[in-house]
A and B are shown apart, each in its own frame.
Chain A
């Protein structure tokens, strides 16, 4: 029919337009840095990016918050303007990810450690300040715990109140608000706090060598009977819920504790309060290093890469009094800072 031919022509025309746009764009260079990765590093990377964009002639980098794993996947997908230049990560890159990168031609990766992040277990200031051991956290939050009767074996977590777990803790129902399994904060909390507590029970620790799978299942599985409440990725929401419910504890990043220190307080873990200094010197046990990874092949192709690296690794950004520490990033010791700043400057790739 006459008109259907016309519609067909219209469709062909439209797809041709799309095709042309696509080709035209992938051929031209990108003039801004594209960054993906961890939602924990996001609040720090964005501050650097904004400062970089507003104090140099370069465009402000674009930063997507995709999570560490998602970011590394995008990062490793290939070399070229279509792929991101930098990925932020709240954990070190895994060997499987390095392999995947290599397979796609991303061979030279520069690793930059930027500092530390503490994970706070906090409650409302209306409640008392707690001193919890990592072992208590494990016993209170794991799905299966050693038989409280003393027999060597696991039972479904029977503990209802903190006093059941440890006599020195208050007689308050166990109620912990924390991030869901998709979050890097949750991974780190489970790994550092729960597994840390797990390791204080000798026969479970011994299992690590004999039955690693079972060891992981025991130490990494969080109870699902309502004592641990998955409160979503939004840490602000957790803070608000803590204020409304002084008996509840919340698990979130140190920067949220820092911003809300008038309303919530961080519990001591193994006797150490989550403070700037204790996280920096490593005495606070639930802290982790943060990184970003740079695709060396893109330095020189994408404008401003070197300058962005210089900005991030400058003392005014990540130093003791730098603007990132105002945002809650815990700086590395001076020697470590110097070392990573040097390797970033020399564009030294990992091996």
Chain B
């Protein structure tokens, strides 16, 4: 080969060969880039569609149609003996009080049939609210309260445009007469859409107008608490042992392979395991956050162990060697020098694992957390559901007003997930050190 010139091929100049192929290579590159951009754009479009449809359905759920009524807390109805005994107050006929409050607005409605139709405009939620108010302050009996009470879900749907006024009367859930009453109440300023605080402060209900997500949020909180308290220490301990202390032999290899496999096991399998071990063997009660947390611990442990080991691996050996060199024991090296440096990465791993656990329904199905639970759980041994479960249950309810609530609850779940992921990013950005 001569020096200073390129080898020739078939007598053509090397520059000619390069130029001949250049356009093709450039085109291939442009094509490849376009594929990438199209893929990302498609992803973004789907994300946008998802968000627009959820937000579009959800935003109306943050308002609820309410009726302003003057309710006379008639002592003869609530507490005829005047004992103010909680048992009496608890069983009183509050529906009658709400009904008479509504009938005061339309004194000319006489027949039983019409009265029934009129009463249907106010949801049962109003009765429950009134009972709770009186139970909390028994001295209110005998007074007249002017309160906004939730209207029935059909009225709510009408005001939000989900019931067609023009549809034929027999197919409509509200009669012409009821529409007239609604219009009258609205013109008197006694019917309006107001902020739906109940959605955030109440538990589940079969009345859409008084169904809220608080029970599910609290249930999710307790479940996540158990998961975090168990999976983080266990996961970190396992990772530290495997990474810093364990001898390299066949046994630890098998453990390592199994941990990696566990991370890929479908979550329903952990639910089955939880049912067999925690409920059937240990005899823990069904549907409680403790069991849910244990099951989700099993599910998140592999994720945390793998993430923790990765961050431990990233701590440079020079740190360990320096500590050992000045006479620190192995334990001191790990606890005082390696762990603090690896901690932000471990926390990030834990948060990502928790975020995944927060969105799980499948394992909870097996252990009975997919259930109708009205009371807000007070601890990890009270029956509870979780947010994704609540979404699942509402999506399956016949009442139309649950459609917007399903979307609203999804929005709340997404909000929590975004907050958790953002926290993970912030932790990583602020505390992670690069060597």
A contacts, CB < 8 Å to B: 1-4, 7, 10-11, 14, 18-19, 21-23, 25-26, 30, 32, 34, 39, 42-43, 46-47, 49-51, 53-57, 59-60, 62-65, 81-82, 125, 233-236, 255-256, 258-263, 265, 321, 323, 327-328
Chain B positions within 8 Å of A261 at CB level: 170-173
Give the one of B128, B230, B282, B370 with max A CB within 10 A.
B282
Chain A positions within 8 Å of B116 at CB level: 321
- Pairs A-B, 7 closest by C-beta atoms: A60-B374, A63-B372, A64-B371, A22-B282, A262-B171, A46-B372, A26-B283
Contact A262 B172 (CB under 8 A): yes
Contact A2 B331 (CB under 8 A): yes
Residues A51 and B398 in contact in the complex (CB < 8 Å), given A1-B245, A62-B373, A262-B163: no
CB within 8 A of B331: which of A3, A26, A57?
A3
- A–B complex contacts, Cβ < 8 Å, 9 sampled: A3-B334, A53-B375, A55-B91, A62-B287, A236-B396, A255-B398, A260-B400, A263-B171, A321-B116
CB within 8 A of A60: which of B284, B294, B373?
B373
C-alpha gap A11/B230 in the complex (Å) = 10
Chain B positions within 8 Å of A32 at CB level: 375, 383
Chain A positions within 8 Å of B396 at CB level: 39, 233-236
Chain A positions within 8 Å of B286 at CB level: 34, 64, 82
Min CB–CB distance A19 → chain B (angstroms): 7
Q: Which of B70-128 contact A (CB under 8 A)?
A: 86-87, 90-91, 116, 124, 127-128
Min CB–CB distance B151 → chain A (angstroms): 15
C-alpha gap A169/B87 in the complex (Å) = 61
Contact B230 A14 (CB under 8 A): yes
Contact B287 A47 (CB under 8 A): no
| B29 located at the interface, meaning its Cβ lies under 8 Å from any Cβ of chain A in the complex | no
C-alpha gap A55/B95 in the complex (Å) = 11
Contact A62 B331 (CB under 8 A): no
Min CB–CB distance B89 → chain A (angstroms): 10
Residues A30 and B285 in contact in the complex (CB < 8 Å), given A25-B381, A256-B398, A321-B116: yes
Contact B290 A21 (CB under 8 A): yes
C-alpha gap A38/B84 in the complex (Å) = 40
Closest to B400 in A: A259
CB within 8 A of A56: which of B90, B163, B285, B334?
B90
Q: Which of B357-387 contact A (CB under 8 A)?
A: 368, 370-375, 381, 383
CB within 8 A of A125: which of B171, B234, B393?
B171
Chain B positions within 8 Å of A263 at CB level: 171
Contact B287 A64 (CB under 8 A): yes
Q: Which of B379-435 contact A (CB under 8 A)?
A: 381, 383, 393, 395-400, 403
CB within 8 A of A46: which of B87, B206, B237?
B206
Contact A236 B287 (CB under 8 A): no
Contact B283 A4 (CB under 8 A): no
Min CB–CB distance B34 → chain A (angstroms): 34
Min CB–CB distance A63 → chain B (angstroms): 4
Chain A positions within 8 Å of B282 at CB level: 18-19, 22
CB within 8 A of A82: which of B172, B283, B371, B372?
B283
Closest to A34 in B: B286
B contacts, CB < 8 Å to A: 86-87, 90-91, 116, 124, 127-128, 131, 163-164, 167, 170-173, 205-207, 230, 233-234, 237, 241, 245, 282-287, 290, 294, 330-331, 334, 368, 370-375, 381, 383, 393, 395-400, 403
Contact B171 A25 (CB under 8 A): no
Residues A234 and B395 in contact in the complex (CB < 8 Å), given A2-B331, A30-B285, A262-B172: yes
Min CB–CB distance A82 → chain B (angstroms): 6
C-alpha gap A51/B93 in the complex (Å) = 12
Closest to B394 in A: A236
CB within 8 A of A55: which of B131, B330, B400?
B131
Contact B245 A3 (CB under 8 A): yes
C-alpha gap A257/B171 in the complex (Å) = 10
Closest to A51 in B: B124
Contact B395 A236 (CB under 8 A): yes
A56-B91, A60-B374, A63-B371 known; 9 new pairs, CB 8 Å cut-off, are A1-B245, A11-B234, A18-B294, A19-B282, A21-B381, A54-B131, A63-B372, A64-B368, A65-B393
Closest to A257 in B: B398
CB within 8 A of A59: which of B124, B163, B230, B375?
B375
Contact A47 B206 (CB under 8 A): yes
Chain B positions within 8 Å of A63 at CB level: 371-372
C-alpha gap A260/B173 in the complex (Å) = 8
C-alpha gap A60/B286 in the complex (Å) = 16
C-alpha gap A235/B402 in the complex (Å) = 13
Chain B positions within 8 Å of A42 at CB level: 372
C-alpha gap A188/B170 in the complex (Å) = 28
C-alpha gap A53/B373 in the complex (Å) = 10
Chain B positions within 8 Å of A25 at CB level: 283-285, 381
Chain B positions within 8 Å of A50 at CB level: 205-207, 372, 374
Residues A262 and B398 in contact in the complex (CB < 8 Å), given A46-B206, A56-B91: no
Contact A53 B171 (CB under 8 A): no
Min CB–CB distance A125 → chain B (angstroms): 7
Chain A positions within 8 Å of B241 at CB level: 3-4, 7
Chain B positions within 8 Å of A55 at CB level: 90-91, 131
Contact A49 B398 (CB under 8 A): no
Closest to B294 in A: A18
Closest to A53 in B: B374
Chain A positions within 8 Å of B237 at CB level: 7, 10
Min CB–CB distance A21 → chain B (angstroms): 7
Give the one of B286, B330, B374 with max A CB within 10 A.
B374
Min CB–CB distance A118 → chain B (angstroms): 14
Residues A62 and B372 in contact in the complex (CB < 8 Å), given A255-B398, A262-B173: yes
Chain B positions within 8 Å of A10 at CB level: 233, 237
Contact A65 B245 (CB under 8 A): no
C-alpha gap A59/B384 in the complex (Å) = 13
Chain B positions within 8 Å of A53 at CB level: 374-375
Contact A328 B383 (CB under 8 A): no
